[in-house]
Chain A
């Protein structure tokens, strides 16, 4: 008899426990985000304002995020923060939920140039998060000559050989290499593809490492004298005391925009939309920009930015710099060759 009572009470305890956690789960938001890309205080602010429990996992490349979501994590996160080309890929794979602009009260805050973007026409799945460029930084104690050329990465002068860190990011490395050769990004021309492959094969022995999440650290520590890097992350390297200069090469450089997307099967769709609305408030997204050192795509942010950020050399290309290029999305048939070139490089 006593045993039965114990049994019943423990079953009740378990079901009560479940009840509590379900009630709790209604007020939660699960974010899949880049590393070091949002200040904790901002997450806390959102959690407090909306009485929501926020959890966040991080990734270090668009590709690894896609792989994780494809491997069964879709349905456990509400929002993710893919780059431009990855938004297009994810939409094509049916991994994104869509929303109406009326569902976001701050939709009108998006800067006009970022409303109708090629990777998400009319912003059905995404809102701007931050945008910036991908190029490289050079340690000026080690190398004093002209750095505004992609030769620094792909055909480096002898004093920089073996001191170069490259982002472990297929899209950006291959796009920058294509700019270096002056070929289009989704080329199907065999000679061009062979040249691209050969360029990377010849450059690889002169590189020290492939590292994305350590891209800033290798520059600050001096492990690398040249590092491919995103402009805001590079600004942090400089601010941490390294004598490094960001290059806007004459051959061109990569521009990107990271976007908050609404994931398909989001367990907390409503909170996800609240979070997107929250990030379209100038005050909040300015906090991200001040933290991450990139540029927001929201109106009215300008006044809330740190003074040194407005003048930072990483965020302000020199007047004669060419326009940046977005990473292109190739069709399956073409992408196969680029995947093969990347595999050849990494193996």
Chain B
């Protein structure tokens, strides 16, 4: 039975290594390993293999090794494929556009999400759950529906423009639909709660007597925020940023529906490779692998900085 006793929260790596190889514990971990292996590792490996296969006419793959997908990503050989190779900027531009959009979405989510989380965490216990509950309300509705609703709201003769014109703030409609700004709106609106909730979890644990102590020591409000509160809630902020940045990077609903499927982001570029007849499965797989590598890189940098911070 001893093996079943959960490690206490103060458990260090030393106690873990003592019991982690307990056979029963190992067996209990099996379902988790199975899920990760079967639904995560295997598909990624498949994707890696597919990215090195040859495209079949009208979709699908031929089992022949080829690096054509990666070649297509980085080199431009003209319409007929027989010109000398130049650097292909198209896909790099699409990736760059996606990164910029995802970064902007993350910053906006942080700017709105942090004060929101702080506000909720400083409410009395009795109302806090109500506020949290309100944050999750939009999530009862499917992402697709929310994105389509956004489209209805911001279109040229939609309610937003009509109200603004009615109160006399603008004379002619603000043209938002099918622009990058519309895509941005869709992104930050979709992922805002991913920022609010982890930041809230950090702020909620923060011991506010520390902030009072800072004030007692003549720290200004700004200094208190910067030197006392922010360092303490940093893990929550970083978690929130990752949770917003990663899905924004691969989003395809917002660019499709709000951007008019014209300004590709990575997600829509990949989707197109599997949907259309001009689609190219190996190329879609290669794009996914490149995206995956980029995300992994960001997470590894984060993990290393965490490890360094922990070592100090």
Q: Which of A199-252 contact B (CB under 8 A)?
A: 204, 207-211, 221-223
Distance between A202 CB and nearest chain B CB, rounded to angstroms: 15
- Assess whether A66 is interfacial by the CB under 8 Å rule: yes
Which residues of chain A are within 8 angstroms of B94 by Cβ–Cβ distance?
347
A93 touches B58 (CB 8 A): yes
- Assess whether B278 is interfacial by the CB under 8 Å rule: yes
Which residues of chain B are within 8 angstroms of A170 by Cβ–Cβ distance?
276-278
A168-B261, A337-B79, A340-B79 known; A223-B155 Cβ under 8 A: yes
A222 touches B157 (CB 8 A): yes
A67 touches B274 (CB 8 A): yes
Which residues of chain A are within 8 angstroms of B277 by Cβ–Cβ distance?
62-63, 66-67, 170-171, 339
A335 touches B275 (CB 8 A): no
B79 touches A344 (CB 8 A): yes
User: CB-defined interface of B78-109 with A at 8 Å, one 1/0 digit per residue?
Assistant: 01110000000011001000000000000000
B91 touches A210 (CB 8 A): no
- Assess whether A145 is interfacial by the CB under 8 Å rule: no
Q: Which of A147-164 contact B (CB under 8 A)?
A: none
A194 touches B90 (CB 8 A): no
Instruction: Classify chain B: how many residues form its interface, as a range.
Output: 20 to 34
Q: Which of B268-303 contact A (CB under 8 A)?
A: 269, 272, 274-280
Which residue from chain A places its CB closest to the CB of B275 in the assembled complex? Answer: A64
Which residues of chain A are within 8 angstroms of B60 by Cβ–Cβ distance?
70-71
- Assess whether A341 is interfacial by the CB under 8 Å rule: yes
Which of A170, A193, A204, A221 has most B Cβ within 10 Å?
A: A221
Distance between B42 CB and nearest chain A CB, rounded to angstroms: 16
B178 touches A343 (CB 8 A): no
A346 touches B272 (CB 8 A): yes
Distance between A168 CB and nearest chain B CB, rounded to angstroms: 6
Distance between B180 CB and nearest chain A CB, rounded to angstroms: 13
User: CB-defined interface of B249-262 with A at 8 Å, one 1/0 digit per residue?
Assistant: 00000000000111
B260 touches A211 (CB 8 A): yes
A70-B59, A337-B80 known; A207-B278 Cβ under 8 A: no
B276 touches A209 (CB 8 A): no
A71-B274, A337-B79 known; A211-B156 Cβ under 8 A: no
Which residues of chain B are within 8 angstroms of A71 by Cβ–Cβ distance?
59-60, 274
Which of B178, B272, B274 has most A Cβ within 10 Å?
A: B178
User: CB-defined interface of A59-80 with B at 8 Å, one 1/0 digit per residue?
Assistant: 0011110110011000000000
B57 touches A347 (CB 8 A): no
A64-B276, A170-B278, A221-B157 known; A346-B260 Cβ under 8 A: no
- Assess whether B177 is interfacial by the CB under 8 Å rule: yes
- Assess whether A190 is interfacial by the CB under 8 Å rule: yes
Which residues of chain B are within 8 angstroms of A342 by Cβ–Cβ distance?
276, 278
How far is B276's CA from A341's CA once the two chains are assembled, in angstroms?
13
- Assess whether A30 is interfacial by the CB under 8 Å rule: no
Distance between A93 CB and nearest chain B CB, rounded to angstroms: 7
- Assess whether A89 is interfacial by the CB under 8 Å rule: yes
How far is B78's CA from A194's CA once the two chains are assembled, in angstroms?
10
Which residues of chain B are within 8 angstroms of A41 by Cβ–Cβ distance?
none
Distance between B266 CB and nearest chain A CB, rounded to angstroms: 11
How far is B56's CA from A335's CA once the two chains are assembled, in angstroms?
12
Which residues of chain A are within 8 angstroms of B275 by Cβ–Cβ distance?
61, 63-64, 67
Which residue from chain A places its CB closest to the CB of B155 in the assembled complex? Answer: A223
Which residues of chain B are within 8 angstroms of A340 by Cβ–Cβ distance?
79, 81, 278
User: CB-defined interface of B44-86 with A at 8 Å, one 1/0 digit per residue?
Assistant: 0000000000000111100000000000000000011100000
- Assess whether A100 is interfacial by the CB under 8 Å rule: no
Which of A197, A222, A340, A343 has most B Cβ within 10 Å?
A: A343
- Assess whether A303 is interfacial by the CB under 8 Å rule: no
- Assess whether A308 is interfacial by the CB under 8 Å rule: no
Which of B58, B94, B177, B269 has most A Cβ within 10 Å?
A: B58
A210 touches B262 (CB 8 A): yes
How far is B264's CA from A209's CA once the two chains are assembled, in angstroms?
11
- Assess whether A49 is interfacial by the CB under 8 Å rule: no
A61-B276, A207-B262, A340-B79 known; A223-B59 Cβ under 8 A: no
User: CB-defined interface of A39-57 with B at 8 Å, one 1/0 digit per residue?
Assistant: 0000000000000000000
- Assess whether A320 is interfacial by the CB under 8 Å rule: no
Which residue from chain B places its CB closest to the CB of A344 in the assembled complex? Answer: B79
How far is B88's CA from A225's CA once the two chains are assembled, in angstroms?
34
How far is B178's CA from A222's CA once the two chains are assembled, in angstroms?
13
Distance between B175 CB and nearest chain A CB, rounded to angstroms: 8
A335 touches B57 (CB 8 A): yes
**Can you give 13 contacting A-B residue pairs, CB < 8 Å?**
A62-B277, A67-B276, A93-B58, A168-B261, A170-B276, A193-B79, A204-B262, A208-B260, A332-B57, A335-B57, A337-B79, A340-B81, A347-B94
10 additional A-B pairs beyond A63-B278, A170-B277, A347-B90, beta carbons within 8 Å, are: A61-B275, A63-B277, A66-B58, A93-B58, A193-B80, A208-B177, A211-B261, A342-B276, A344-B79, A346-B272
| A-B complex: 8 closest residue pairs judged by Cβ atoms | A209-B260, A63-B277, A339-B278, A210-B261, A342-B278, A63-B276, A70-B59, A64-B275
